[in-house]
A and B are shown apart, each in its own frame.
Chain A
């Protein structure tokens, strides 16, 4: 068990290492570099050379890659080409904002999705299921910006309950962000709840038809306990992967939602940095997002291992 966890962690680290190389050399392969981006029209002759010398761009790519990776391990992603500020700081503030948004959405969405998934599965093809499943499909198919616009229209323009957009800067404290965050959380919750609900519903339906659920019933186990103790642990397994994908999606920056609400998160920062051709920032951001993806999926695998004793033995033997 522990050995398996360690091995998976090691594999995760190898993945991150490979991804870091791909990011670095992909950015390297782009025409131009940080200096041409900063200097723009002046990027020629002595000024370009000076700039390159200053930023260390005249050294071989592999050496710069090793430097970058070494820095990343120490928590230093270098400096932004545009503002000259430390990338770690720039990313850190926005990462915190994104984590706040993602965390709140998950805290609301995941329990809600599990509950509704079970409810729809138990009421399969009856009124509660039909209503909830239809709503879920709507929530999945309507683009986020439409939902977002509708919510802004209803709750801030019409009812005036909450502000429609976030006017806080990236490094604003949580207390400033809090009152403005509810609409983006609502939009994200709707989408992710719909996805997770559909998965939980179908896996719960499968499990409820299984022999062991019928056996539990015929053993005289009360209905709620059949669901909670016998069926749910098995039904959650497929849901874990969907939750992981959703979390990764939330962390990777939900660009559209952030843009609509003017929320200072990772996604918007990434888009802005690309527009400004701030390559060191783009590079650093990509690494952070990729690591988050790997980390979340690793967590999901380990969680599945905890939930399913069969997996535990099988993996141990393998």
Chain B
């Protein structure tokens, strides 16, 4: 038997808490990677997957240490290597592609200098050849104009370009293995799809071994042959990607797959109740037992050992009984849309601020508005989703509606009449009707206020409640978002991410709004928690008849919850219509490109990459906003004339020069 390239055996990593107790982060992890293999490491936040990947590089975050076991690279224990040997290994035969390349590249060094540094440290090329090699590497990761890119600073590149630079840097030492730590998290869908195709091509070209860490099963399914699922610092199931995705054996792997919304149908996926255990809080039994629907008495008392299956391992006492279909997702109940609760007419937003002189003479800012010609209506009891990539203006539109960003033009009105531009000039009742739920509940809830204080503010302000009535109403609101009244006196820090987002939703509900503006409300949450928040929003819409304007970049999430979808590119509406129609047959080329780039956690799923992967700094001055990336570009007409609006049945409007068939 050959020596595996990476051999992780019985690895336990932990830290010592303030009261002197040793708490494990990784618990008995065994993984082997043979040369040329691609292994995906998936799990939710806190599962220890990133710690494991960095441990493979012989790196532990401050405070962590190896409690037992070892990590061998080509038979050598990386934690026993002297510093200079470890430095030679890192970035040499074993290279890391980091999460968020934007922060992983040194801001004060030019791209070329950073790639050259990696070459000088690890490659065997003559100093005189380095500049040429830098350009070659940048070209290899398919960066346009590599010479120009080499002279730039990291902040002058787009997120996708930064990630490509990080890949080029990792390739400099011609590594035998690549460790990828969430390499596409935070990138737009189309960019992500392009980066993943690049990684697949690299793996195929040079037979590089990959350890791919991600929470995104779709991305992992696209790149990896094998998948290991982690939960509470353990690998709970490991096996070939095809089998694991089709017939997961471990109840956690099953629940995780069931919690992922799919693009094919409008269904709210099944949520996973509870939360993962804190380090050290796992008890003698199976770590997943408290959340497991199949848990038996033995699961509470004995920790299951990894058992070999036909093609992998699974850590479960009841693995033989789980070979049944996955829990079903709930179809989204259709509701009859009520009256319009919000109407937006010809909204435009511009970020260009006029210079001091222009301000004096009252001249408006020049240039092209970032958001223009937005026309939409939201009806009671419906969810309208605004989708688009970063820079599509979806959040700007939300802010303009909320009165946080003064529009450059256009009218925003409630049934009672037009709204003032700034929230300060709106009447309290108007403000009450429109409430916001932000992306990140860690930042939208004041960490020094208890949940009761947070909920009390809108109740006092809009409903003049006080004393016991106030507290009773706050408790009722918590019940409504499926949190107990015992949370009232806690601080946000004592709640999990999903619970905090429920509190944020409860705070919005306290005002009894007609319209809920949700700005990526689930993108900071783990998938299992996301499913629960989506179910909550769908229920509120159905039971209370609240209208929801839902901003998201994840098309599968939008598919799960939206009745209607508006697709935005560069602040312009490309297409708006019933979700069913838009997803079944995308009429606009941009919608087509977006849907084509979606990755489903299905074995053999093939994305269709359409259009160019490029980032535009701003909308073009004339013609169609999508002209520079369009794969169905017709010619001068697209660059010269604004596309006409074609009306299809069911209020489906497409703005494109190509008439929809």
Binding site for B on A (CB under 8 A): 210-223, 229-230, 233-234, 307-310, 313
Contact = CB atoms under 8 A, between A and B. Distances in A.
Contacts of B59: 214, 217-218
Contacts of B173: 220
B108 A210 contact: no
Interface string B296-321: 00000000000000000000000000
Interface string B96-123: 1010100111111100000001100110
6 contacts: A212-B106, A216-B106, A219-B117, A220-B90, A220-B91, A229-B117
B169 to A, nearest CB: 7
A216 B103 CA distance: 11
A141 to B, nearest CB: 30
B480 to A, nearest CB: 40
A211 B107 contact: no
Contacts of B103: 210-212
A223 B87 CA distance: 9
B15 interface: no
Q: From A217, A218, A221, A229, name the one whose CB has the most chain B CB atoms within 10 angstroms.
A: A218
B108 A234 contact: yes
A211 B98 contact: yes
B92 interface: yes
Chain A interface, >50% SS class: helix
B489 interface: no
A215 B165 CA distance: 13
Contacts of A211: 98, 100, 103-104
B647 interface: no
Contacts of B91: 218-221
Given A218-B57, A218-B59, A220-B121, A212 B169 contact: no
Nearest to A237: B108
Contact of A230 (B88, B90, B109): B109
A101 to B, nearest CB: 33
A309 B106 CA distance: 11
A308 B104 contact: no
B156 interface: yes
Contacts of A308: 107-108
Contact of B107 (A212, A221, A223): A212
A211 B105 CA distance: 8
B310 to A, nearest CB: 37
B153 interface: yes
A313 B155 contact: yes
B89 interface: yes
B155 A215 contact: no
A210 B122 CA distance: 23
Given A229-B109, A307-B108, A309-B108, A220 B122 contact: yes
Contacts of B155: 309-310, 313
A219 B45 CA distance: 25
Nearest to B108: A233
Contacts of A213: 106
A234 B105 contact: no
A215 B107 contact: no
Q: From A212, A215, A219, A310, name the one whose CB has the most chain B CB atoms within 10 angstroms.
A: A219
A222 B120 CA distance: 12
B156 A219 contact: no
The 5 closest A-B pairs by CB, nearest first: A220-B91, A233-B108, A219-B91, A215-B104, A309-B153
Nearest to A210: B103
Contacts of A215: 96, 98, 104-106, 166
A218 B107 contact: no
Interface of B: 54, 57, 59, 83, 87-92, 95-96, 98, 100, 103-109, 117-118, 121-122, 153, 155-156, 166, 169, 173
Contacts of A309: 107-108, 153, 155-156
Contacts of B88: 220
A234 B109 CA distance: 10
A219 B90 contact: yes
Contact of A221 (B95, B98, B121): B121
B377 to A, nearest CB: 36
Nearest to A308: B108
Contacts of B105: 212, 215
A245 B585 CA distance: 63
A313 B117 CA distance: 24
Contacts of A229: 106, 109, 117
Nearest to B87: A220
Nearest to A233: B108
Given A229-B109, A309-B153, A212 B90 contact: no
A313 B156 CA distance: 8
Contacts of B57: 218
A229 B95 CA distance: 20
A304 to B, nearest CB: 12
Given A219-B117, A234-B108, A309-B153, 8 more contacts: A212-B105, A212-B106, A215-B98, A218-B98, A220-B118, A220-B173, A230-B106, A230-B108
Q: From A215, A222, A307, name the one whose CB has the most chain B CB atoms within 10 angstroms.
A: A215
Contacts of B122: 220
A109 B291 CA distance: 61
Contacts of B156: 309, 313
A220 B118 CA distance: 8
Contacts of B153: 309-310, 313
Q: From A212, A217, A221, A308, name the one whose CB has the most chain B CB atoms within 10 angstroms.
A: A212
A217 B98 CA distance: 12
B223 to A, nearest CB: 21
Contacts of A313: 153, 155-156
A219 B106 contact: no
Contacts of A310: 107, 153, 155
B238 to A, nearest CB: 25
Nearest to B62: A209
A313 B100 CA distance: 21
Q: From A217, A234, A307, name the one whose CB has the most chain B CB atoms within 10 angstroms.
A: A217
A223 B98 CA distance: 19
A223 B84 CA distance: 10
A315 to B, nearest CB: 13
Contacts of B87: 220-222
Contacts of A234: 106-108
A223 B121 CA distance: 13
A213 B108 CA distance: 12
Contact of A218 (B90, B109, B117): B90
Contacts of A221: 87, 91, 117, 121
Nearest to B102: A211
Contacts of A212: 103-107
Contacts of B98: 211, 215, 218
Contacts of B104: 211-212, 214-215
A210 B154 CA distance: 15
Q: From B59, B83, B117, name the one whose CB has the most chain A CB atoms within 10 angstroms.
A: B117
